[in-house]
Amino acid sequence: MQTDRPAENVFSLTELLEKLDGDIETCKSIVSSAMQRFTTYFQDIQKAASANNLKTVIEKAHAIKGAAGNLCFYELYAASAKLEEIAEQSTSAESCQAAIEQLNIAWDKLQNTNLWE
């Protein structure tokens, strides 16, 4: 995963297709599955933060980071990496709220992006 990429790059279909040897159907299937999982992960992060469960916040942020990186969802990758980093250094989920909000913004952008152009 390239970390020097500007975070404003929401998604690179070209790069993901390169990873999948140009197989658009596999690409669509993998992205669809990941988007469904992300919805659950975001719900889990919100619940965990409300319960001050940093371990779960870290685990779910890490899971999002890994999948987002592999799928070339660059802004979501950067936001989840930041949340994971902050949560690992925190003693309270309250200190993660700004990073959670940034993660939600990145998620909203991704959901509102036409991924197949």
Model pLDDT, residue 85 = 98
| 57, 87 contact by CB (below 8 A) | yes
Token representation of residue 71: 């799928």
Helix (H) or strand (E) run with residue 110 in it = helix 97-111
The residue among 37, 44, 39, 50 whose CA lies nearest residue 92 is: 50
What CATH number should be reported for the domain whose range is 13-111?
1.20.120.160
Average the pLDDT over 61-82 and give the result: 97
Segments making up each domain of the chain, as ranges: 13-111
Average the pLDDT over 19-44 and give the result: 96
Average the pLDDT over 56-68 and give the result: 98
| 15, 31 contact by CB (below 8 A) | no
